[in-house]
Amino acid sequence: MPTSPAQSGPQAARDQRFQSIPARFVATSQRQPQAPAYFVRDAQGWLPTSWQDYAQQVRQAARALVALGVQPGDAVCILGFNRPEWTTTDLAAMMVGAVAAGIYWSSAANEIAYIVEHSGCAVLLVENEAQWAKAAAEPQALARLRATVLMRQAPGDAQPQVPEGVAAPMTWEQFVALGGLEHDAEVQRRMDAIREEDIGTLIYTSGTTGHPKAVEMTHANLSWTSAALSAAFQVGPQDRLISYLPLAHIAEQHGSICNHALAGYQLYFARSLESLGDHLKEVHPTVFFGVPRVWEKMQAAIATKLAGATGVKARLARWALRTGRAWHAEALQGREPGTLLNLKNTIAHRLVHSKVQAALGFDQARILISGAAPIAVENLEFFTGLGLLIGEVYGQSEDCGPTAISLPGFIRLGAAGKTLPGMQVRIAEDGEILVKGPNVFRGYKGRPEATAEALQNGWLHSGDLGHIDEDGFIYVTGRKKDLLITSGGKNISPGNIEADLMNLPLVEHAVVIGDSRHFLSVLLTLKPDVLQAFAQQHQLPGTPADWARSSPVQEELQRGIDAVNAKQARVAHVRKFSVLESAFTIDNGCLTPTQKIRRNVVQRQYAEEIEALYRDGPGAAH
């Protein structure tokens, strides 16, 4: 397993003093008023907004909240895709002592209603008519609001339909027009009065069961973590980031709000998830954060192109991939790759790596990160073959995002990384990862029992299983609650098995089954593009469903499962599999908004398929 020098680790923040996120935002806008704060994309290109103008927008929104009667401690909920109005309202809410609460744009009507009611929402900001329609479908949740507000609408956008008994939403222009200067002194008074222990934001966890829990992040949590991350990443005004992941998630909130307010880099708001590929080539970000699914899709697209190459180009590409992997394997071990390998890598970079990096938009990237879910080592190794080194960030909402990070200089493929200076991590007797530090949350809003379970003697019980090596690298091996206990009494963590299975070319998602069973089986969904290419290569007739059931596909999957089994103890071998016709999506409830599998939903929806796997014992897998 590739390693990095043990002595390396994240840099500590120079200034440990408390300063609220709104205060840092104001300071940055005064330090670099004419520098670009954010960009939005229109038909002509990327339009910049300066820090001075951004500060005025936030201040006016803060005054408007005061005018609407929003009080310190009230919640301001925000529903929609990443837009300047989203971050402006979040910062404005914190500035007046209110509590920002993001809602995932994929949330259903009942989920929106739950968060609006549970948070004590006073003002709800929604992106467009479609999001408004979902919110208005549960009118009882809107009854106590002081106002609902629509983000800026383009000419010709559909007008919101207002159910009977529900007040029509204000336009963004009507909202900010309320922010007269007569409220400015009150805004300043409230910002100056922010205390470390005050709640700054609520992060509603996209839980895999039941209603989401509201993670209470204090201003001290947000302040300390953003300072620690900014120091570790060494970001500044020259850096460029794309805002595209859900702002309701703690990771994107740091990237687009908290760290941005402190470090003052340039933020580019994506028009949509589908536009990300084009945006990367236009923006050339210097820092990029992707969930594993983003990296997996990139790898699949690159692999498909490489598979279609022939002749000299194909041989050159394969050689460049081998060279890049070999060079990084040595460098990550802390060893000098040697004169010959250095020369080969230089040639590979000039002929192949640089072209692929430019085509992806990563030719100026100095930090690439994967987080929010585990990523297979094979994915990381693939990108090293292209000269792209991806580090990992591991953590959870309850510790304000980071438990461990990996950055150039201290990356060990397969490890989650090292802790930030000022944090403590230890492993409990049962293997659970425990965390203590200034970033650990105050509790779950309205859930004292859940808080008491998560926080014990000052230590956050993460629910993750793992270990720490002799060099301080943290490894995550699975979820404590996901442990499968077979009918033979064996404890098996399915996470690593599923990660290996999802690294098979055809497999998109894998869910290992085996709790209270006498052997393991797995439900698989396949990647449509790879399946189609496989069918064309093998001249398979029929539909995608026919291809999935065909002998060549089944045999290919079995070979892959056999290879995965070879890495596991016999008790952890997958004996049978079933290929599902439907993909796991957010809409069908099988995935959370952050692309994590809802295991209980999958098992409930596919109960018949699971029972069929165990009907005839551990025979041949089909």
- How does pLDDT run across 30-51, given as a tens digit for each residue? 999 999 999 999 999 999 999 9
H/E segment holding residue 64: helix 51-67
High-pLDDT (> 70) share of the chain, % = 97
Work out the average pLDDT over 397-417.
92
pLDDT in tens, 141-200: 998 899 999 998 877 777 788 887 788 899 999 999 999 999 999 999 999 999 999 999
Distance CA 114, CA 123 (A): 15
Nearest to 405 by CA among 99, 21, 571, 415: 415
CATH fold for domain 23-269: Rossmann fold (3.40.50)
pLDDT at 310: 87
Work out the average pLDDT over 536-560.
94
| Same CATH fold assignment for domains 292-479 and 483-615 | no
pLDDT of residue 352 exceeding 80 = yes
Token pair 């009080």: residue: 71
pLDDT of residue 63 exceeding 80 = yes
Work out the average pLDDT over 524-545.
93
Q: How many helices (H) and strands (E) does the chain have?
A: 24, 25
The sign one gets for the Cα dihedral 597, 599, 600, 606 is positive
The answer to whether 130 and 64 are in contact (CB under 8 A) is no
pLDDT at 4: 40
Nearest to 184 by CA among 63, 23, 333, 10: 63
Work out the average pLDDT over 79-89.
97
pLDDT at 619: 62
Superfamily name with CATH number, domain 292-479? ANL, N-terminal domain (3.40.50.12780)
Count CA within 13 A, CB hemisphere, residue 49.
18
**Torsion angle, alpha carbons of 500, 506, 512, 518, to 10:** -100
Give the other-Cβ count within 10 Å of 153's Cβ.
Answer: 16
Nearest to 204 by CA among 114, 94, 290: 114
pLDDT at 210: 67
pLDDT of residue 565 exceeding 60 = yes
Token pair 């005004």: residue: 237
pLDDT of residue 349 exceeding 70 = yes
Q: Of the ranges 112-116, 124-128, 185-189, 370-374, which one carries the lowest mean pLDDT score?
A: 370-374
Distance CA 213, CA 526 (A): 32
Strand duo 491-492 + 266-269: pairing = unpaired
pLDDT of residue 1 exceeding 70 = no
What DSSP letter does each residue of 172-202 carry, written as one string? Answer: HHHHHHT--GGGHHHHHHHHHT--TTSEEEE
Token pair 């070319």: residue: 505
pLDDT in tens, 577-620: 999 999 999 888 898 887 788 888 899 999 999 999 998 777 65
Q: Report angle CA 516, 517, 522 to the nearest 5 degrees.
A: 115
Which residues lie across from 456 on neighbouring strands?
459
pLDDT at 207: 55
Segments making up each domain of the chain, as ranges: 23-269, 292-479, 483-615
Q: Of the ranges 259-263, 431-435, 514-518, 617-621, which one carries the lowest mean pLDDT score?
A: 617-621
The answer to whether 222 and 100 are in contact (CB under 8 A) is no
pLDDT of residue 2 exceeding 60 = no
Contacts of 300 (CB under 8 A, 6+ apart): 505, 527, 529, 530
CA 62 to chain centre: 28
Length of the chain: 622
Which CATH architecture best describes the domain 483-615?
2-Layer Sandwich (3.30)
Q: Distance of CA 439 to CAs 197, 218, 257, Å?
A: 12, 9, 16
The answer to whether 120 and 446 are in contact (CB under 8 A) is no
